[in-house]
Structure 1
Amino acid sequence: MAKEEVHLTVSGPHGDRELRVSSPGRVVWPAVGLTKLDLARYIVDVGDAFMAANGGRPVTLQRFKDTVDGEQFFSKNPPKGAPDFVGAVDVAYPSARSHPQLVFEEIAAAVWAVQMNTVVFHPWASRADNPDNPDQLRIDLDPQPGTGFAEAVPVAKELRRVLAEGGLEAFIKTSGNRGLHVYAPIEPTREFLDVRHAVIAAARELERRLPEQVTTAWWKEERGSRIFVDFNQANRDRTIAGAYSPRALAKATVSCPIRWEELDAVDPQAFTIVTVPERLKASGDPWAGMHSSPGTVGLLLEWWERDLEAGLSELPFPPDFPKMPGEPPRVQPSRARRKG
């Protein structure tokens, strides 16, 4: 008995490609009955906007063996047998080792990734032709228990003002869950550690302005019911779901770019792989032209130096990173107090 499969015609810079989608009826999102074929068609439908946001960057794939409720794993390097239109670039990791990482140069590569059971796409903040220097400053506003999307909205607005004072134009998208992601295009002239420090400087300024609503505390026990500004997403090899990427959540939500004037009224749960293609057709891509006038992180780095002189220090790095210069002890505060 032949295996069930369909073929999609996917247009691109080198003409049409016929791509196979095996097990097209396999349900990926059980709660809403959406299938692998639905996902593949979604990627084709949003192809131009998806590629503008995620193409030409090292990308990590979040793949699932069955449904989004089941086992998952991450892929970074191209597997054997990947088609010739799936690219790669050598990148260095925090461990100082390097190896090839996937790069999409046309939407057919993302459809191929869906065939490989990818659901979520995690692009780097840098481009394949300059992987060590980000061209995006990214800030993840992460609601903590007791807060949600509604609490993140005024924080995002104030962050926009902070970044504007730092010389940067901010763009925003839903996370696909409860949070918000704020991006600013920057000239790719600084490496990841500098951009991390710029993010920390902006986060600290935001925290000073909204101390009851915002925290930069790395340890969860210190965050309280506030919005955590996740500065560690600015590190090398740290990624968040890309713009127009589906999320592995029950309703098949999408991390969706929005306009600032929409922010007060949007329902992030309304942006799904079913609804986003029509939204794009009706109102266009809010992130179109994002990189037409990139800024620099120079002023934010001046804020970083100012804070260092005032007695503030480096903040913790992720636990899988090597010990970094100036980093405080990687011991959760309550444990440190018990030992003391």
Structure 2
Amino acid sequence: MPAAPGRQTVEVEGRRLSLSHLERVLYPATGHTKAQVLRYYAEIAPVMVPHLSGRPASFVRAPEGLTGQSWVAKTPPPGAPDWVPRATVEHSQGTAEQIVIDSTAALIAMANLGAYEIHVPQWKAKTGRDRHDRLVLDLDPGPGTDLVVCCRIGQRLRQLLEDDGLTAFAVVSGAKGLHLYSPILPASGRTVSGYAKALAGRMMGEHPGLVVVSMTKLERREKVLIDWSQNASAKTTAAPYTMRLRELPLVAAPVTWDEVAACRDPSDLAFTPEQVLQRVEEQGDLFAPLLGDAGRAALP
């Protein structure tokens, strides 16, 4: 029996997936379709999945693309295959099952269900919420400032982290800002959050007219928020290589410090899925040092 229009059955890593609505335009500004998004995830999976594996995922779901409704989902989407791993996670309201993306097949299965944007915490389900293995700082520009300013602040934060024995890696968020990560020896969420908050406070002390650590909108005008709170065990951050559900189909992409230093316009570090695939082909996974135990350092 022939497949319905916009539908195709494929086999991914031995799993049969029925892909639907392939012709649906998810990003009207550029015409990117669901088929193109699924193709991106299939091709980026070898470098993306290792950064997702073991971490309970949350999703921004928008089955109809930017023209339809979108919402944050922590629990498995309806229709998620039984073979996609789950983890039981404790939340303030009790426990809940969450998806763990450990394979290309699982990544495609979730994207096929409209879970196009993926967020993960800085800890793994197996080791638990109080064994964080990454520090993250989210540099978010307020009104009147932009990614270029985030890059300058990011360079200074890199120096401060290095002074404390930590190595920093940069990821453009795919939205407006910049994420900085450091691989760390396991520590509690409270410990990591405390260090990150103190570091953000040091930056605000150095540059009180440029940096804030409060999310109050009035305080953020013409300043960059250093969001240290994403180190809390209950928080998540947009995963490296995830597509973002914004007007343009941009990706949370790892970048070099040379690129950060050279940024003079936000468009300098805005990458489409096609560009990210090309970057990986030429440069490999710039985020690979975050994997494994090598290079991890204890928080001071």
Give the structure-1-normalised TM-score: 0.81
Paired letter, 1:232: S
Tell me, yes or no, if structure 1 residue 275 matches structure 2 residue 275: yes
- With over 3 angstroms needed to count, the CA separation of the structure-2 counterparts of 1:227 and 1:81, relative to structure 1, is closer
- Contact 1:8 1:21 (8 Å CA) reproduced: yes
Q: Please tell me whether the aligned partners of residues 245 and 255 of structure 1 are also in contact (alpha carbons under 8 angstroms).
A: yes
Equivalent position amino acid for 2:175 in 1 = N
Question: Which whole-Å CA distance do the structure 2 matches of 1:115 and 1:62 have between them?
Answer: 13
Say if 2:52 and 2:120, in contact at 8 Å, map to a contact too: yes
Question: Considering only aligned residues, what root-mean-square deviation do their CA atoms show, in Å?
Answer: 1.8
Q: In 2, are the aligned partners of 1:177 and 1:269 still within 8 Å (CA)?
A: no
In 2, distance between residues paired with 1:200 and 1:33?
41
Q: 1:202 to 1:69 in 2, by over 3 A?
A: farther
Which segment is superposed worse, 214-223 or 99-108? 214-223
**Counterpart of 1:121 in 2: which secondary structure?**
strand
Structure 2: which amino acid aligns with 1:23?
A: H
Corresponding position of 1:70: 68
Distance 1:268 1:243, change over 3 A: farther
The alpha carbon displacement at 1:2 in A equals 5.8
What's the % identity of the aligned pairs?
30
Structure 1 stretch 36-45 or stretch 1-10: which is displaced more? 1-10
Greater shift in the superposed pair: 164-173 or 218-227: 218-227
Matches within 5 A, 1:98-137: 98-132=95-129, 133-137=131-135
Equivalent residue number for residue 296 of structure 1: 298
Task: Give ranges in structure 2 of 5+ residues lacking alignment.
Answer: none
Contact 1:78 1:100 in 2 (8 A): yes
Q: Which has the larger radius of gyration?
A: 1
Deviations 1:28-60 (A, max 9, x none): 111100111111110011111111222221100
Displaced runs of 4+ in structure 1, greater than 6 A? Answer: none
What are the within-5 Å matches in structure 2 for residues 218-229 of structure 1?
A: 218-229=215-226
Q: In 1, Cα distance between the equivalents of 2:270 and 2:289?
A: 25
Contact 2:84-2:100 within 8 A present in 1 as well: yes
1-structure distance, mates of 2:42, 2:212: 39
Give yes or no for contact 1:162–1:206 (8 Å, CA) kept in 2.
Answer: no
Deviates more, 1:251-260 or 1:206-215: 206-215
Question: What is the CA-CA distance between 1:197 and the residue it aligns to?
Answer: 0.8
Counterpart in 2 of 1:258?
Answer: 255
* Alpha-carbon contact 2:48-2:240 (below 8 Å) kept: yes
**In structure 2, how many angstroms separate the alpha carbons of the residues matched to 1:269 and 1:172?**
11
Q: Distance in 1 between matches of 2:112 and 2:21?
A: 9
Which position in structure 2 is the counterpart of 1:89? 87
Aligned letter for 2:153?
V
Question: Is the Cα contact below 8 Å between 1:134 and 1:191 reproduced in 2?
Answer: yes
Mapping for residues 220-239 of structure 1, pairs under 5 Å: 220-239=217-236
What is the CA-CA distance between 1:61 and the residue it aligns to? 1.2
Amino acid at match of 1:204: G
Question: TM-score by structure 2 length?
Answer: 0.91
Deviates more, 1:31-40 or 1:204-213: 204-213
Match for residue 34 of structure 1?
32
Indicate the residue corresponding to 2:144 in structure 1: 146
Opposite residue 34 of structure 2, the aligned amino acid is K
Give the Cα–Cα distance (whole angstroms) in 2 for the partners of residues 80 and 241 of structure 1: 22
Q: Per-residue deviation at 1:80?
A: 5.7
Q: Which has the higher strand share?
A: 2
